[in-house]
Amino acid sequence: MKIEGANSGRRRWMYRPRNVTRVSAALLAFLFLLTSGAGRTFSTAAQQPPAAKEVTIDNFSFGPMELTVPVGAQVTWINKDDVPHVVMSVDKIFKSKALDTDDKFSFTFQQAGTYEYFCSVHPKMTGKIIVK
């Protein structure tokens, strides 16, 4: 027995010229983007950010005292002393808050140059970051 109108609530996709045109336009746009390289997210070694570097603050000194990094590198200072320290560049480009034991401060160097820094609480503590 056949029930009349059983599929009447469903909409069927029909091959009409306007639907074919829309699908063709979308397919052509997708192929263009695929072949043109737009939207690609392939990574290469040249596109990856430089590895992060660390400077340890221990026994009232920075270690290493001098560090050379590439442009774009992030340097992180970690306080291993039992007293607070503040990392501050001589030219005031960066300055940390007071770093208590195991606190960290990071700065990303975007321009080549030599950056001298010191502990503003203990000015005899000095260091240097060379960015090439």
In a 3-state reduction of DSSP, which class is residue 20?
helix
Domain 53-131: give its CATH code: 2.60.40.420
Domain ranges of the chain: 53-131
Query: pTM value?
Result: 0.63
Q: The sheet that has 66-69: what strands, in order across it? A: 66-69, 126-131, 113-119, 87-89
* pLDDT tens digits along 94-105: 999 999 999 999
* pLDDT tens digits along 32-53: 666 665 555 544 455 666 677 9
What's the residue count for the chain?
132
Amino acid (1-letter code) at residue 123: P
Backbone angles phi, psi at 31, to 5 degrees: -65, -35
Q: pLDDT grade, residue 8 (50/70/90)?
A: low
Backbone angles phi, psi at 7, to 5 degrees: -100, 10
